[in-house]
Amino acid sequence: MSPKRAQSGDAVPGGVWLREPRPASRAPALTRERIVAAAVEVLDQGGAEGLSMRRLADALDVHATSLYWHVSHRDDLLDLALDAVFGEVAASGGASGSWRADVAAFMGGLRAALLRHPWSAALAVSRPLLGPNALAHSESVYAALARAGLAGLDLRAGAAAVSTFVIGSVAAEAAWRHPGAAAARAAVNDHLRGSADRYPTLAAHAVTGEEDWATHFTRGADAFLHGLAVLGADRPEQG
């Protein structure tokens, strides 16, 4: 008998987190954990466009129908795999005693995890981050910014900007990680220098070979965190 299909619904981003999973006692030997681990491997090899239920089933050496006990759609796989990436980021839990150190550690950890899986940053900007790992980190960031003195709209906007800064910078970096990147960057700089009459500031600040993505990220994150500190400066740090 074929496995029953997981609770279905429209194939919408984040939908897997809004449905109750099948009871573990009734599930077949194939587990969600195995499926997610295999999905991450498939995504690492071929990107989001290379993931399909059939390809994942082949990787697991099972029939595709076996997957439907745990997932209803390909969208489920993307959400589950993305949250697994967030699960690679160490939780700070406020252990450092400094809100700024906690947020900086999360930003650096998230950058490293996303870079290990080049498909993940572009995917993260297109889906609600509702998985347990992503939500746990969001809770930590919210708590840290609350300790910094942010509240209300400032807190919500600041917390959203933390992840947006990391995800956006990694998506840009991942897009430039290809064999012809150095030549392409040189061509961009040549174009800017040749158009200095129209873009004088850009031409004067073209990227040099002495700079790298990590340096750009660190300096940008420092400036960003300084701005958050200023925003919360009119309220004392809590705890």
pLDDT of residue 1 exceeding 50: no
> 140, exposed or middle or buried, with CB in 10 Å at 0-12, 13-18, 19+?
buried
Q: What is the mean pLDDT of the chain?
A: 86
Same CATH topology for 15-85 and 90-231? no
pLDDT at 82: 97
Cβ–Cβ under 8 Å, residues 90 and 47: no
pLDDT at 15: 76
- Rg over CA atoms, the chain: 21
pTM above 0.85, yes or no: no
* pLDDT class of 234 with cuts at 50, 70, 90: low
Which are the contacts of 196, defined by CB distance < 8 A and separation ≥ 6?
Answer: 203, 204
Dist CA 125 CA 144 (whole Å) = 23
Encoded tokens for 155: 């807190």
Centre a 10 Å sphere on the Cβ of residue 65 and count the other Cβ atoms it contains. 13
Q: What is the pLDDT of residues 124-138, one digit of tens each?
A: 999 899 999 999 999
Encoded tokens for 109: 């950890």
* pLDDT class of 27 with cuts at 50, 70, 90: very low
pLDDT at 64: 87
% of the chain exceeding 90 in pLDDT: 59
pLDDT of residue 178 exceeding 80: no
pLDDT at 8: 58
Dist CA 176 CA 215 (whole Å) = 15
Residue 211 CA, chain-centre distance (Å), reads: 24
* pLDDT class of 23 with cuts at 50, 70, 90: low
CATH topology of domain 15-85: Arc Repressor Mutant, subunit A (1.10.10)
Cβ–Cβ under 8 Å, residues 105 and 96: yes
Residue keyed to tokens 């595709």: 64
Q: How far is CA 86 from CA 147, 152, 188, 216, in A?
A: 23, 25, 33, 22
Domain boundaries of the chain, sorted by first residue: 15-85, 90-231
Averaged pLDDT, 81-92? 93
- Selecting from 1.10.357.10, 3.40.47.10, 3.90.75.20, 1.10.10.10, what CATH number does the domain 90-231 have? 1.10.357.10
Which are the contacts of 27, defined by CB distance < 8 A and separation ≥ 6?
Answer: 69, 70
Encoded tokens for 194: 């040749």
